[in-house]
Structure 1
């Protein structure tokens, strides 16, 4: 199987430590927006400084947890790029969570306490292993996952909400990795679109098109970056 031009570019720029390229731009944009959706208070320039220069430079005091999770998200995203062709397994997802939440409580393990998404109930902790097994078995049986399949997996993963914290970020990272594996332009959700994203998740059982449209809009964001850096879609 040939490597998608986007994946090839990301890997080569990472390997060659290219500054100011697509890899660096996508790394800091996805990290900023995905963490911001979940309540991170760091501004874009602070996130860029942490990821490109290893410097925390901010006009106001910053939370240590925000810095840790900025580094963790970048570490997990890089892992997704490095391992894009690997099959999705329970162990892979747990490791991804461990990278995101490294050094923090409940890192790399499934939840032990109940949680919710807004007003929506999620899987009981005791049911998480079985629910994840079913989800992964059904998804990995697909020979060529489509964009719609990946969005559907994302919804079902978020509905299970297998971790105590970090579910949204891990779910979006998985979707990014699976798009790369399938040769599909990936998507990321901008913080400014989070209300559409949450509405899409909430209404998915009856109106799946809303979440698909929101994710497709996130695809256009990545396409714009690819066009800017002259990376072909195919």
Structure 2
């Protein structure tokens, strides 16, 4: 994770802003809004999410609440991306503030709250406000603290989080991020939307430290929940691995290919697609079919130009074989 981001910084000057690389961030935006809401049971598919976020069109026949959940998440994620890299007057240089945490929840929950407010909420528990209810014990035994402790616990959490430093200094490890993410969910500061808010806050931290966002994919829901339960018991490793893998995957899948250009050498993971896996590219490089360079650590690097040449030659071989 840290090695990958150092390469991005050394070779390309760091993570591009949403204004500099709109296409990169749009893809991340769609994927995150889809998967993070799907973890909570939202039924919109990725195509419907993209249509809603880009054009404001509600395609399909899903419950209104589902569209409003995605709309709110999309608005909050876009705010987080911009806030992480170009904070303006919102922050004094801290990694995160209490005001930012509350604003993320406010932006996230306002659309769905207008059509389906929480049935138990009082007048002081709307979007952006801390809960004033007790939360029942979770199925695995962890019980969030009393609502009377939430305000000072969030402030303690913010203070602990601001002890993190970015990749250029005392490198913050995935374990620290996992611990902070899990602790936020344990506090459960809001009446509803804590999982989505926690993942958005995690991505604010990552962006502030120069990393792309982590996306917990809906296919990994069970793995994520198991990792969170283990983190409740002080075992941060599985959650840290999930976060690190997500950040690295997004760096290689979305960021490096877009900023590297067609002739820049990048790890094979940055060139992999659904049709052409990283392993298939590695086999092609090993056999000399894909032009690539072997780095000192034994990994292969290639370019988009070389990949296009390989795909053309592969197509020609298949065409020749089928006509024989």
Q: 2:235 aligns with which of 207, 221, 231?
A: 207
**Separation of aligned partners in 1, 2:197 and 2:100:** 11
Q: Which has the higher contact order (CA 8 A, sep 6+)?
A: 1
Partner of 1:128: 150
**Separation of aligned partners in 1, 2:205 and 2:68:** 25
What TM-score do the two structures reach when normalised by structure 2?
0.64
1:107 equivalent to 2:116? Answer no
What TM-score do the two structures reach when normalised by structure 1?
0.87
* Corresponding residue SS for 1:101: helix
**Separation of aligned partners in 2, 1:185 and 1:148:** 17
**Separation of aligned partners in 1, 2:13 and 2:256:** 15
Question: Which entry has the higher C-alpha Rg, 1 or 2?
Answer: 2
1:1-234 equivalence runs, <5 A:
5-8=14-17, 10-14=18-22, 21-58=23-60, 61-84=61-84, 85=87, 86=91, 87=94, 88-103=96-111, 104=113, 105=117, 106-115=126-135, 116-119=137-140, 120-144=142-166, 146=172, 147-204=174-231, 205-223=233-251, 224-230=253-259
| Closer, same or farther: CA 4–187 of 1 in aligned 2, 3 Å | farther
Unaligned ranges ≥5, structure 1: 15-20
| Closer, same or farther: CA 148–186 of 1 in aligned 2, 3 Å | farther
Give deviations 1:22-56, integer Å, cap 9, x for gaps.
Answer: 11111110000000001111111111110112111
Q: Which moved more, 1:155-164 or 1:100-109?
A: 100-109
RMSD: 2.2
* Corresponding residue SS for 2:110: coil
Unaligned ranges ≥5, structure 2: 1-8, 118-125, 261-265, 268-324
Q: Are the aligned partners of 2:36 and 2:218 in contact in 1 as well (CA < 8 Å)?
A: yes
* Corresponding residue SS for 1:82: helix
**Separation of aligned partners in 1, 2:72 and 2:13:** 25
Q: Are the aligned partners of 1:7 and 1:81 in contact in 2 as well (CA < 8 Å)?
A: no
